[in-house]
Amino acid sequence: MRLLLDAHFSAKRIAVPLRAAGHDVVALAEVGTFDGLTDGQVLELAVDDRRLLVTRNARDFAPLLRLWAEAGRHHRGCILVWSLSHDRFREIVEGVTTLLEDRPRSRDWVDLTLAL
């Protein structure tokens, strides 16, 4: 699966294990040119690059995704990680992996937002 990890995630502890599991992962924390993007720009980047967004920022992205749905705008999917603290790396990787295994085709994620 093609994933975009929001800047809140450790590339070493989240992106690397997801890549090892076979996913194509871009981590904003690894790419300096993405510093300072707004939430809207992050979502646009995910859409433009056909990536499912994984973020801890449910407070901002949940309403943004709702606005997109109301406007008829489409996205490639979003996983909102809000039930696990930021230092629970193994649990985050396992949770994301389980959600991806449950929906292994990218088309299953179009306009879908799930919480972890």
At 18-67, the pLDDT tens digits run: 999 999 999 999 987 788 899 999 999 999 999 999 999 999 999 999 99
Domains of the chain with bracketed CATH: 2-115 (3.40.50)
At 76-107, the pLDDT tens digits run: 999 999 877 767 899 999 999 999 999 999 99
Question: What would the 3-class secondary structure string for the chain be?
Answer: CEEEECCCCCHHHHHHHHHHCCCEEEEHHHCHHHCCCCHHHHHHHHHHCCCEEEECCHHHHHHHHHHHHHCCCCCCCEEECCCCCCCCHHHHHHHHHHHHHHCCCHHHHCCCEEEC
User: What's the confidence (pLDDT) of residue 46?
Assistant: 97
